[in-house]
Amino acid sequence: MASEERRWFGFLIVVVVLFNAITLSPLVPWQSWSLWSQPTPDRRVTIEMANYEFGLPPQGIEVKANEYVEFVATSRDVTYGFGVFRPDGTLVFQMQVLPGRENKIVWKFDAPSMYDVRSTEYSGPRHPEMFIEDAIRVTP
Amino acid sequence: MTRIGWLEKWTLRFAVVGLLFLALAILEGALMRVQLVDQGALRGMESLLMNVRLVSGEVSSSDVFYSMLTAHPIVGIYGFAYMCVMGAFYFLVPFLLKKEIRHKRLVPVNFWLHIAGVLIAWGAGFFVLFNGLYTLYWPLPVSYDRVPLIGSIIFGLGLVLIEVNVLLFVFNLFSTVLTRSEPNAPGFWRTLFSAIGIPRLLRRGGKVSDDARPHPDELPVFIVAVGRGSIDTAINAIVMLSAGALLLVYGLPTLLAGVRMDPAAIDSLLYKNWFWWGLDMIADGNVLMYTAGTWYLLIPLLVNRKLYGESVVRWVILADLLVSLFVWSHHLLADRPQPFGLQLLSGQFVTWGEFLTMGLTIFTVMMTIWLARPVKFSPALKFVMGSIFGFIVGGMAGLTQANVGLNLVLHNTQWIIGIHAHMMLLGGLAMLLFAVIYALIPLLTKLEIRSQRLVNYHFWGWIVGAVMMAYAMGMAGSQGMLRRTLYATTQFQPYMIVAFVGALLMSVAFVLFLVNLIGTLGWSNVLSLVLPERWLARRLGHAAA
């Protein structure tokens, strides 16, 4: 290996280490609980999906800002996605919802607001219909 | 009319059909872009097309969009890229090894079987509106309340034909490389060890140095890359073959005997792991290795200088092969039941191994060009530089999403398919295939590319269009726009309009490329690829008289 190659290889290694260290650290906000503290959830919300529909709790989803909420989604037919979106359309978080499995994610909302829910995985031609506006109310 | 040899003619046939499939993929892509700008814009065309489709009842824009989305990658990858790769390798491998293709009869078989397979899979989408997408996430492709049963069977049949054909092609390539051409030539095992790099390792005690003489058994580095990439090609074919066969196993008893097998018999997560392990052998396997090998071959030829750091790149190709076997989990970072250890190790850390292997590859080829200054930027070299740019941008976007943290907000968004996948495919892979075509035409036909001005228009139109499209899609993705989702609202319309303009620019560039290609070859040579030569010569003789 020539000296230029060694130097370049060293540079590549530094980039790999830095990028991975930063993105695994709490500098990415949700890594602080999903990877490091892994807290016991304050609340559990179950969602049952089937036939292009979200089965949300009958009383709706209302959670407090800064509490840890565990979303548990199941599917009775095909693979769906469970995605939570801000009112401006940007994505907060998501997970795939595989049939025959319990699909869980813990989240902490940092601001009170209303959030939309949309399926993030294609499940057939009616997939775009899987959208619920203001499905989650986050209170102070 | 130029006299073109048997193998050269087949190479050109593969390239021409590959380009026709690219034209089809571009058309489908542009139509889907139109639908993403305005969902109902194609209604008139759709009602006309219903006259040739084999479906009855009401068909929605969504049905048409998702069937196009299913066919589009099959046409683009297996139709365009694989056809061009097969044609190029069928010429280059025997040319560099100075021996004949081992099974010449397989060359036309590969040609026709591949066209048939791609057209059947495409036809499942076009005629029957099969909409299971290329991902075929279990059990969607056998959920006949969502996808048409007959479409699922036809798509499965097309996939099986394509993959059987790919396995035949790989068999023919390995047979050609490993067959002894003369009594003193290295035999099967010596060639195999040399391809893996064992003689080099034994001779130098593992020390990698660039100044030592090559081992007498050593194969050209391009052949090594083709060999190692073809291992991934074969694995991909076997896995995709199993996916296609599964569609037939579930579909045929339902169609013929009304027997419905239980889709739950196959675990969706296990299936997804198997499927992505195989499918990823294209994206993170053969594409990278074939690309690296083609750069290693073309760049020294184009700049007239020995490849810089050849010893290192042989190890890099081997590392790439190993990395490609263990990266599939980056497609399952949003699947919470997937073991976290696999997500972190395979999905993130091993995937980042590609940053090292591709980083070294790009350094090698850039150093080769740098040390060869002053360099004349021929058409092929311009497109090689474009492909390096495409792989850098698309690769970095891919590594950003291959991250257990960031994937949470990037998975399944337009970011993934725009700035990563399409930049890799249109900026990286397609530009490299254009470079190969520009480099091979003079070699195959002894004809020089006719118009340098059209080459430049092709280059700038294609790269600017690809960047516009990828950037607009990436921005839309970062704002929350999902892939595989047809929005009824106009929220992301500005991004989609920019992406559409980018697609149009690429389409114009592609047409200019075809004009230049036909101008270079001449109609008589183009027609001689499909019509009997004697008949054509007689007709041309009459016309001249």
Alpha-carbon gap, residue A52 to A121, rounded angstroms: 11
Task: Say yes or no for a CB contact (<8 Å) between A125 and B267.
Answer: no
Task: Say yes or no for a CB contact (<8 Å) between B137 and A121.
Answer: yes
Return the DSSP state at B531.
Answer: S
Task: Say yes or no for a CB contact (<8 Å) between B337 and A98.
Answer: yes
Burial class (CB in 10 A: 0-12, 13-18, 19+), B489: exposed
Give A35's contacts in chain B (Cβ within 8 Å): 404-405
For testing contact with chain A, the best of B46, B60, B134, B140 (most A CBs within 10 A):
B140
Task: Say yes or no for a CB contact (<8 Å) between B309 and A2.
Answer: yes
Task: Say yes or no for a CB contact (<8 Å) between B360 and A5.
Answer: yes
Which of these, B466, B461, B464, lies nearest to B509 by C-alpha position?
A: B461
Which of these, B545, B79, B285, lies nearest to B537 by C-alpha position?
A: B545
Contacts with B533 (C-beta within 8 Å, 6 or more apart), sequence order = none
SS3 at position B429: helix
Long-range contacts of B345-352, Cβ-Cβ distance < 8 Å, separation of 24 or more: B347/B402, B347/B404, B347/B407, B348/A20, B348/B402, B348/B403, B348/B404, B349/A20, B350/B323, B350/B326, B351/B284, B351/B323, B351/B327, B351/B399, B351/B402, B352/A16, B352/A19, B352/A20, B352/B399, B352/B402
Chain B nearest-CA distance from A39, in A, is 17
Q: Residue type at A5? A: E
Indicate the angle between helix axes B287-303 and B379-401, nearest 10 degrees: 150
Do the Cβ atoms of B499 and B33 come closer than 8 Å?
A: yes
Give A30's contacts in chain B (Cβ within 8 Å): 405, 408
Task: Say yes or no for a CB contact (<8 Å) between B360 and A12.
Answer: yes
Segment A10-47, tens digit of pLDDT? 999 999 999 999 999 999 999 999 999 999 999 999 99
Q: Pick from B311, B334, B481: which is nearest to A96 by CB? A: B334
Average pLDDT of chain A, as a whole number: 96
- The half-sphere exposure of B107 on its side-chain side, counting CA atoms within 13 A, is 22
Alpha-carbon gap, residue A72 to B192, rounded angstroms: 51
Dihedral (CA of B214, B308, B362, B358) sign: positive
Do the Cβ atoms of A137 and A116 come closer than 8 Å?
A: no
Contacts with B538 (C-beta within 8 Å, 6 or more apart), sequence order = none
What is residue B211's predicted lDDT score, i.e. its pLDDT?
Answer: 47
* Length, in residues, of chain B: 545
For testing contact with chain B, the best of A52, A78, A131 (most B CBs within 10 A):
A78
Give the ipTM of the model, two decimals please.
Answer: 0.96
Chain B residue with CA closest to A124: the answer is: B146
Give A12's contacts in chain B (Cβ within 8 Å): 355-356, 359-360
Which of these, A31, A134, A90, lies nearest to B403 by C-alpha position?
A: A31
Which residues of chain B are under the pLDDT cut of 50? 210-211
Q: Pick from B311, B399, B480: which is nearest to A90 by CB? A: B480
Do the Cβ atoms of B240 and B279 come closer than 8 Å?
A: yes
What is residue B215's predicted lDDT score, i.e. its pLDDT?
Answer: 63
Neighbours of A132 (CB within 10 A): 16
Chain A residue with CA closest to B362: the answer is: A8
Neighbours of B16 (CB within 10 A): 21
Segment A88-133, tens digit of pLDDT? 999 999 999 999 999 999 999 999 999 999 999 999 999 999 999 9
Q: Pick from B146, B337, B409: which is nearest to A125 by CB? A: B146
Average pLDDT of the segment spanning A61-77: 97
Which of these, B111, B128, B7, B4, lies nearest to B66 by C-alpha position?
A: B128
Chain A nearest-CA distance from B85, in A, is 30
Alpha-carbon gap, residue B504 to A121, rounded angstroms: 28
Chain B nearest-CA distance from A52, in A, is 10
Give A95's contacts in chain B (Cβ within 8 Å): 334-336
- Tokens 């048939």 belong to B116
Looking at the DSSP assignment, which residues form a beta bridge with residue A47?
A: A73
Alpha-carbon gap, residue B196 to B315, rounded angstroms: 9
Q: Pick from A9, A15, A103: which is nearest to B336 by CB? A: A103
Q: Pick from B209, B269, B405: which is nearest to A23 by CB? A: B405
Give B406's contacts in chain A (Cβ within 8 Å): 23, 28
Q: Residue type at B237? A: A
- Relative to beta strand A61-64, strand A131-139 is parallel
What is residue B56's predicted lDDT score, i.e. its pLDDT?
Answer: 83
What is residue B197's predicted lDDT score, i.e. its pLDDT?
Answer: 66
Alpha-carbon gap, residue A51 to A76, rounded angstroms: 8
Give B144's contacts in chain A (Cβ within 8 Å): none
